Amino acid sequence: MQVILYNELNPKTIPNFTKMRGYLENDDFKSAEVKKIGENLYRSRLNRSDRLLFSIYHHQGTAYALIY
């Protein structure tokens, strides 16, 4: 899955973002501790207190994770 960042989102300010991006790109939802929380809304656990929200979209046979 390819990862797309929402406009003006700075990944350098997000703890453990690089590790989480790697999990999502490899479709490793178990390691990313992904949980569905709404209609096409998922959260992934970055650390004990921080979460990352994203949605999954498909275009021309490719899956994309849009990170908010």
What are the structural domain ranges in the chain? 2-67
Q: What is the pLDDT of residues 2-41, one digit of tens each?
A: 999 988 889 999 999 999 999 999 999 999 999 999 999 9
| Confidence label for 68 from pLDDT (cuts 50, 70 and 90) | confident
Q: Let me know: does 66 contact 6? Beta carbons within 8 Å.
A: yes
Domain covering 2-67 assigned CATH 3.30.70.1050 in the classification: no
The arithmetic mean of pLDDT across residues 59-67, rounded, is 95
Strand locations in 1-68 (E): 2-5, 34-38, 41-45, 51-59, 62-67
SS3 17: helix
